[in-house]
Structure 1
């Protein structure tokens, strides 16, 4: 087994094909194919299902990819250690967040200190955040709960209650207070299953003997917001994510408080990466400054 063979396999797997892997490694496609073929022949194992339209991983290939993700991530960490100043000047940080709203002040401060670092932000619910981090598809996650698993480094950002909201035209009010039972009688617009906000809301409703049945299910917080703004019904969100939108009316929930703990997380074995550590340091200073007020 040679390094070049594992590198070829890894890039075919993450890029989804031999041609794309060749482009990423600045090699020819036959060279990549030959390295993967030799790896398979040496260990008498099939790593890819090949057909004319696509290349997919076999079960053995999926298991090997889990190992090579860690292997090449450690290699990148070693490179970062040996070239720290370059990593903080020209690196790239991948973030997946259930709500980018919680990151705005952190991003602004981070950009002032590290203006040339590239940042990509993707959205997703709690399940997506956890999956992306475990798959090494993201460096940092933001989600509405404190993970119980010990493989995460966690920094709590804030804790705010869940509220309801509706279109100003729909509710004909500037502010309202309703019980869960009263809210259940309205057309409800709720996020997809897997959303931590929805899980906490439904759990509390069940404890109160109330059934919340969504009339509309939408993927993502922004989709819910736009549907509600178009008089689609009543939606739910954490207070910190409600923001300022003149189209919408805030509805306080009269009942037991349901708090959403928003947290910044990363895999513990990646917490010493230069960019990850720098981002956490900035976030920690800002969080401590706010809590100390």
Structure 2
């Protein structure tokens, strides 16, 4: 296999077409088509489903794309290292985060210090962030849990209480705090599996022997907020993610320590990357006073 063949495959897989791939590689479309075809013939595999002008990777193509993303990600790092000689003037940092509230301060600090670096941000739950780091589609992650996996290194950033939100019509709305036992039988809206906030509240409920009535599981913070406003049920959210508004109330749990945490995470093998180190340093310098690890 030639590197040019793999590069053509990767370009098609990431752009979704042979034409766009050729444009990105500054070669002719027949050249890209030939190189991908040679790769398929050489190993007796089908790498793309071809439908009209668009293409999508087969299952084998998806596996190969995971590897090619790693290969060309490392190549890009090597080029950047040699070109910049340790000075971060240009480049592209891909950040995966569990939500804007955890990462905004870090992004502002990084942009102010390295204005020439392009930053793209994707969001998802903690497991999705780890998955993006593992398959090299993100360089650094900001998530709400310690990655108990030797493939990753985690740097503590902040700690936040989990609070209960309810509509202004709910009986809890007139109170500043409740006991966790009062959630017994209460209509509860949960985040999706993989959410650290969900894990935190479920653990606290189990320890307290409390069984609420789970009425919905929703992956979107915005949809959870709307469901609570409509008095469908109450929900547990991290205080840092709570956005006050008309018709919405936040109530603390006064007899249970339920917490979420923000950590900056990267693959262990990439912790010495100049760009990753720079982002981690910015995060440490902007860490809220008195927070975890301060």
Match of residue 280 from structure 1:
280
Structure 1 match to 2:132: 132
Alignment of 1:11-22 (within 5 A): 11-22=11-22
Deviation at 1:149, TM superposition (A): 0.6
Matched, 1:252 2:252: yes
Instruction: Give the TM-score taking structure 2 as reference length.
Output: 0.87
Gaps of 5+ in 2: none
Corresponding residue of 2:6 = 6
Counterpart residue number, 1:61: 61
Residues 256-280 of structure 1: per-residue CA shift (max 9 Å, x gap): 3122121111122222333222111
CA distance in 2, matches of 1:91, 1:139: 12
* Conserved? CA contact 2:191–2:218, under 8 Å: yes
Q: Which residue of 2 aligns with 1:206?
A: 206
CA separation in 1, counterparts of 2:252 and 2:57? 49
Structure 1 residues 86 and 232: alpha-carbon distance in aligned structure 2, compared to 1, 3 A threshold: farther
* Counterpart in the other structure of 2:48: 48
Assess if the C-alpha contact under 8 Å between 2:172 and 2:178 holds in 1.
no
CA contact (8 A) 1:218 1:224 kept: yes
Deviates more, 1:215-224 or 1:66-75: 215-224
How far, CA to CA, are the matches of 2:15 and 2:284 in structure 1?
A: 34
TM-score (norm 1): 0.88
Give yes or no for contact 1:140–1:276 (8 Å, CA) kept in 2: yes
> What is the DSSP-based 3-state SS (H/G/I as helix, E as strand, rest coil) of the residue aligned with 2:286?
helix
Residue 240 of structure 1: how far off its partner (Å):
2.7
In 2, the alpha carbon distance for the partners of 1:181 and 1:53 equals: 59
| CA displacement at 1:124 relative to structure 2 | 0.8
Distance 1:236 1:4, change over 3 A: same
Report if the CA contact (8 A) 2:178-2:252 is conserved.
Answer: yes
Going from structure 1 to structure 2, the CA distance change for 1:69 and 1:281 (only over 3 Å counts) comes to: same
1:161 equivalent in alignment to 2:161: yes
Distance 1:190 1:22 in 2: 46
Structure 1 pair 215–288 and aligned structure 2 pair: CA distance change class (3 A): closer
- Deviation of the 1:19 alpha carbon: 2.8
Cα distance in 1 for partners of 2:82, 2:175 equals 56
The aligned length equals 293
CA contact (8 A) 2:161 2:257 kept: yes
Distance 1:56 1:173 in 2: 50
CA displacement at 1:135 relative to structure 2: 2.1
1:18, distance to aligned residue in structure 2 (A) = 2.2
Secondary structure class of the residue paired with 1:252: strand
SS at the partner of 1:88?
A: coil
**Corresponding residue of 1:99:** 99
How far the C-alpha of 1:178 sits from its partner, in A, is 2.0
Name structure 1 gaps, 5 residues minimum: none
| Offset, 1:4 | 0.8
